[in-house]
A = this chain, B = another copy of it.
Amino acid sequence: MHLPSKVTICEVGLRDGLQNEARILQTSEKLELANGLIAAGFKVIEIGSFMSPKAVPQMADTDKLFSLLHQIDGVELRALIANKKGIERAINCKCRKVKLNVSASRRHNLANLNRTPEESVAGFGEIVSLAVQHGIEVSGSISMPFGSPWEGNIPLESVQAIVEAYLEVGITEISLSDASGMAVPNKVYSVCSSMKESYPQVKWWLHFHNTRGMAMANILAAMQAGITRFDSSFGGLGGCPFVPGATGNVSSEDLVHMMDEMGIRTGIDIVRLIELARKVRHMVGHDTDSYILKAGRSKDLIRK
């Protein structure tokens, strides 16, 4: 079984997790969580997003949070943005890394924005220029490359066209995001293998939701295709944008636990992470979709 010896995990709970919560956390609580994540060893953390506070009130304090957070060498704190306004906010609060997003669904994009996904990405050129001028790094994400609610199957050529549009505007770090939870392991393996081969210059990320229980199997398949960067969310917070009440992102503690037990290094202290996930569960005020919070580590089961 061909697997990497180490992987990088980005904690997205502060953004993709909390934006799905009814209770809006205080900035001080988020700060405590972000610092806890850094202390636990995370080197990449998605802190929030620069969207309209009316549309996503849970993320309204992202600017403030960036201002309060100490930038630490070797720790990347990123934010999701949607447009030029987002990059302006990033500049103002000294955020050094942003992520753009486009849907892989042509029908979705044409219906909502009257342009193809590639045209949307081409439109990001201005944002990238502004970012570069201010020393801000930009990455891109592609939603639903493994299947979408609009057309079902997404042809590989569609994903390739979006990747090429990203490369065209100077973005070489790309995330494949299964927000609808429709990805399956053999599809993940074939898409990732093809992408790795066609675009060796790209720094790939994979983002799985556990909507239909397949996230861990998909991550296993992605690792077999050579992918070593994964997003996850503490406590398994998050949701499926298309299914109210469905499970969210794959849980960070479940993922780090599996990696630990497989002998794949993450650089993350699972004990601290579990404590943090418990704190998150307490802050959001409800049980979350985390196996490790329920069952504990395999190691904890072994009698002394």
Contact = CB atoms under 8 A, between A and B. Distances in A.
Nearest to A297: B212
Contacts of A247: 291, 294-295
A11 to B, nearest CB: 17
Nearest to A220: B217
Interface in A177-199: 180-182, 184-187, 189-190
A72 interface: no
A285 interface: no
A209 to B, nearest CB: 9
B301 A149 contact: yes
Nearest to A149: B301
A221 B220 contact: yes
A274 B104 CA distance: 30
Interface in A74-97: none
A212 B292 contact: yes
Interface stretch (A29-37, A115-123, A161-169, A251-259): A251-259
Given A152-B299, A212-B257, A213-B251, 5 more contacts: A182-B301, A211-B291, A213-B258, A213-B292, A246-B295
20 contacts: A147-B298, A152-B299, A180-B298, A181-B295, A181-B298, A184-B258, A184-B261, A187-B262, A211-B295, A212-B297, A213-B258, A216-B216, A216-B217, A220-B221, A240-B295, A242-B301, A243-B295, A243-B296, A246-B291, A247-B294
Interface of A: 1, 3, 147, 149-152, 180-182, 184-187, 189-190, 210-214, 216-217, 219-221, 224, 240, 242-243, 245-247, 251, 254, 257-258, 261-263, 291-292, 294-299, 301-303
